[in-house]
Structure 1
Amino acid sequence: MTEPEGRDDEAVEAAYAQALKLLVRRDHSRRELARKLAERDHPRPAADAALDRLEAEGAQSDRRFAEEYARARFAKGFGPRRVEAELREHGVDGEGLRHAALERDEERRLAADQLAKRFGHTPPADVRERAKRTRYLQQRGFDPEVCAGLLRGGGNPEDEAGF
C-alpha cells in the first residue's frame, strides 16, 4: 500500500514543479494554475495539493495577482468595472477584488486621461458626440456616474475634465 502513496507524492511533486515553472514567468490566479495543470494532465488531487503548498509558501497569491493585474490594466486605461470583471474570469473574488479597486477620484482622473487621449481637450459638439464619448468610457469599464460627471462639465474642474 506504500506504492500508491509514493505515486501520489510523485504526482504532487510533478504538479508542484510545473506550477512553479508557470509562476516564475508571471503571477497566476489559483484557478488559472489549476486549469493549466489539468491541461498538462496532472490529476486534480495532486494539483490541489501542489497549489495548497504554493499558497502556504507564499509563491501563489490571488491577492498579489489581483493587485498586479489591476495595476497593469489601469495603466492601459481600463476602468475598475472592466478590471473587476476580468479578475472574476481569472477566478479572483472577495479579498482580491477589494485590493484591485480604485478610489472615485483616481477613477475620475483615469477616465479624464482616457478622454483626453482619445478625443483631445475639446468639449463634445453635440449630444451625439457626448453619447459617443460616454460609450467609449463605459466600454473601457468606467462607472456611468463618473462618465456623466466628466461629460457634464459640472462640479470641480480639478476633479472633472469638463468635456
Structure 2
Amino acid sequence: MSKTADTPDSDTDDDTAAERLAVRKRAMDLLARREHACTELAGKLKKRGHASDDIDAVLADLTAEDLLSDARYAEALVASRASRGTGPVRIRAELQAAGVSEADIRAALDAAEVDWLDVAEAARRKRFGADIADDYPSRAKQMRFLQRRGFDMDQIAAVCGN
C-alpha cells in the first residue's frame, strides 16, 4: 500500500527532473552558439514552452557553474559591436535591453580596450570617405549618422572637426 502512495510523488519527481534536463539541454545548445544574457536566455526558453520554475532552476544552476554569465555576455557584445563600428551609447542601450546590470555594463565598457574616437572615425570614413564635409548640411548628415551609430556628442565633435 505504501508503494502506491510513493508512486505519484516519484512520478512527479521524475517528470520534473526530465523537464529540467530538457531545459538544461536546450539552454546548453543555445549557449554553445554564443553567449547569452540571463534574461535573454530565459525568454528564449520560455518561448519554447518550458515552465518558468524549471527555467529559473536551470539558469540558477548554469550561473552557479559559471556557464552563464551576464558579465561575459556584456564583454562579448562590446567587443563584437565595437568591431562593427557601433558606439558606446548604443551598446549600453542594447545591454540594458538584454537585462544586463549597470555594474556589468560599466565594467565591460571600461575593460574594453577600445579607442572610441578611432571607431567613430573609421565608421565615418567607411560611410562618407576621408574628407570631412565643409558645408553645414553634409556635416550635419555625418553627425546624425554617428549619433545613430551610438557615439556621444563629444566623440562626434572630435571626429567631425567641431
Distance across 2 between alignment mates of 1:150 and 1:32: 34
Q: 2:117 aligns to what?
A: 108
How many correspondences in the alignment?
153
Match of 1:54 among 62, 77, 86: 62
Q: 2:45 aligns to what?
A: 37
User: CA shift at 1:143, angstroms?
Assistant: 0.3
Q: 1:5 aligns to what?
A: 13
**Is the CA contact 2:96–2:102 (under 8 Å) kept in the aligned structure 1?**
no
Q: Which runs of 4+ in 1 moved over 4 A?
A: none
Q: Quote the sequence identity (%).
A: 36
Q: 2:94 aligns to what?
A: 86
User: CA shift at 1:124, angstroms?
Assistant: 1.1
Distance across 1 between alignment mates of 2:57 and 2:103: 22
> CA RMSD of the aligned region, Å?
1.9
Q: 1:63 aligns to what?
A: 71
**What's the TM-score, normalizing by structure 1?**
0.85
User: CA shift at 1:26, angstroms?
Assistant: 1.2
User: CA shift at 1:95, angstroms?
Assistant: 2.7
Distance across 2 between alignment mates of 1:115 and 1:37: 39
1:152 equivalent in alignment to 2:148: no
Q: 1:73 aligns to what?
A: 81
2:99 match: secondary structure: coil
Query: Looking at CA atoms only, which structure, 1 or 2, has the larger radius of gyration?
Result: 2
Per-residue deviation, residues 47-77 of structure 1 (Å, max 9, x unmatched): 1000011111111111111111111111000
Per-residue deviation, residues 119-160 of structure 1 (Å, max 9, x unmatched): 22212121111111110100000001211222235xxxxxxx
User: Could you say which structure has the higher helix fraction?
Assistant: 2
Per-residue deviation, residues 64-120 of structure 1 (Å, max 9, x unmatched): 1111111111100000111111112222122321133158x8111111111222222
**Is the CA contact 1:84–1:100 (under 8 Å) kept in the aligned structure 2?**
no
Q: 1:14 aligns to what?
A: 22
**What's the TM-score, normalizing by structure 2?**
0.86
Match of 2:141 among 109, 132, 146: 132
